[in-house]
Amino acid sequence: MTTLVQLHLDDNAFSGTIPTELSNLANLLELKLEDNALVGTIPDVLPPSLEELTLNENPGLIGRVPLVLTKLVNLTRLDLRNTGLVGEIPNALCDTIDDLQFDCRVTGLCGCGCECSIQNALANILAASKTEP
C-alpha cells in the first residue's frame, strides 16, 4: 500500500506497540496515533516521508526520543505531550521542526529551550532503570 498518505488512528483505545511495518508506507505524510493506549518505545524505523507525527496522550510510550526522528527531513509537526518519554530532545529536532509540542513541566523531556532540571534528570534515571534488562 504505497499510495496511503494519511493514517489517522487517534482516539481508538488501541494498545500495544507501534508497528515497525508502518515504515513500509513509503508515501505516508501524516501519522496520528494520539490518545490511545500505546506502550513501548518509538520504533527505530518510520516512513521517511513523514511530515506529521502525533503521539501525545500515550503515557505508556517510554524511553528516549529516538535519533531516527532527526532523519525525517520533511517532519514539521511532532507532538509528544503526555507520554512517558524522557531525556533531552535532539537539537536537530529543535532546529528543524516548526510545531514541536511537549511539556517539560510534567514529563521527563527537556531541551529545545526547556531547561533540563533535577526532576527531568531523576525521571531519566528512573526510565533507564525500567528499560534495562
Domains defined along the chain, listed by start: 6-131 (3.80.10.10)
**Which element (helix H / strand E) includes 120?**
helix 118-131
- pLDDT (average), residues 77-92: 87
Q: Is the pLDDT of residue 49 over 90?
A: yes
How does pLDDT run across 72-81, given as a tens digit for each residue? Answer: 989 988 898 8
Buried residues in 18-34 as b, exposed as e (16+ CB within 10 A): beeebbebeebbbbbbb
Q: Residue 129: pLDDT band by 50, 70, 90 thresholds?
A: low
How far are the Cα atoms of 19, 26, 34, 99 from residue 110, in angstroms, in the given order? 26, 31, 20, 16
This prediction's pTM: 0.82
